[in-house]
Amino acid sequence: MRFLATILLAALVATPATACCWPYVVYADATDRYAHGVLGDAIEYGSLQLRSSGGSNGASDSLVDQIVLPQNRVFEDIEPRTARLGEDQLTRYVVVESSQTAGAQLAVYGGFEKDNGWSLHKIAATPHIGQRNRWLAPAAIADFDGDGVNDIAYVETPHLAGILKIVTLRGNELVPITEPQPGFSNHRIGQDFITSDVRTCNGMTELLLPDLRWTSLMATRLENGKITAYSLSYPPSQAGIEAAKRCED
């Protein structure tokens, strides 16, 4: 059963109202209005909340701001991901947002100062896949092309074509930085976790994830703007990924 995961946002600038506290984001408003169940249950989420912990003074957590989706959309995801994205390197939140009719899209939200607090806004998103019950799984966030700016790797339809895509945030757009490549996966239907991560060995950043058939663990990298991949000797599992991250191969 999935749980509401909180992500600490230490990079946010504290306002007077939250100077004592750690802000974090969380999915909320559990709902069964999108009957896909790809993550192991029928529950998805109707809102994304920016909250502030009570800190050491014993105060209770408080809601700072939230995005409430309309009835035809849900956050079909395990947890929000927090990363510095874009040339300005500000903290943003990466989510999977699904439409009742058009399936999933990768979306990026940001927090902005508003009066004496913070406001959440949707900054950018990929197009929806185009069909109900079509999903994507974020794979990792890292600087894959070496330009000093983090990129987002994800697998579109990891149970079907398994198309690996890598995008970067430029202004209010998620721009592809390479041609998509099929043949990868990082999720099996019913699992409440994602099987992928990054490693940096000998100065080279690589994405680690299974191939589409889950027979091999693949190391992928960007070379001359193209995705290249090779198989590793480790099993296509989270344990295999952790072993591969030791850079002993």
Q: What are phi and psi of 242, to 5 degrees?
A: -65, -40
Instruction: Read off the pLDDT of residues 21-38 as tens digits, 9 standing for 90 and up.
Output: 567 899 999 999 998 999
In a domain? residue 193? yes
Average pLDDT over residues 9-26: 51
pLDDT at residue 209 greater than cutoff 50: yes
What pLDDT shows up at residue 56? 53
Pairing of strands 197-201, 173-176: unpaired
Number of structural domains the chain divides into: 1
Average pLDDT, the chain: 89
Those residues with Cβ within 8 angstroms of residue 32's Cβ, 6 or more apart along the chain or in another chain: 42, 43, 44
pTM score: 0.89
Q: Tens digits of per-residue pLDDT, 87-103?
A: 999 999 999 999 999 99
State in Å, rounded, how far the first CA of the chain is from the last one: 35
Sign of CA dihedral 133, 44, 34, 128: negative
Is 235 inside a domain boundary?
Answer: yes
Buried b (16+ CB within 10 A) or exposed e, 54-93: eeeeeeebeebbbbebeeebbbbbbbbbbbebbeeebbbb
Q: Which residue has the tokens 């947890």?
A: 79
What's the pLDDT score for residue 21? 59
Collapsing DSSP to helix, strand or coil, 96 comes out as strand
- Domain boundaries, position 44: 7-244
Residue 1: inside a domain: no
Sole residue written with tokens 């000093």: 148
> Residue 178 and residue 126: Cα distance in Å, rounded?
14
CA-to-CA distance for 93 and 84, rounded, in angstroms? 9
pLDDT cut 90: percent of the chain above it: 79
| Residue located via tokens 């109202």 | 17
The answer to whether 167 and 175 are in contact (CB under 8 A) is yes
- What gap in Å lies between CA 48 and CA 212, rounded to an integer? 31
**C-alpha–C-alpha distance, residues 12 and 18, integer Å:** 10
Given a contact cutoff of 8 angstroms between Cβ atoms, the answer to whether 151 and 145 are in contact is yes
Report CA-CA distances (Å) from 102 to 77, 99, 160. Answer: 16, 5, 16
Task: Flag whether 2 is in a domain.
Answer: no
Is pLDDT above 90 for 219? Answer: yes
Choose between 159 and 118: higher pLDDT.
159
Q: Is residue 249 part of a domain?
A: no
Task: Give 46-102 pLDDT, tens digit per residue.
Answer: 999 998 876 555 557 888 899 999 999 999 999 999 999 999 999 999 999 999 999
Position 203 pLDDT exceeds 50: yes
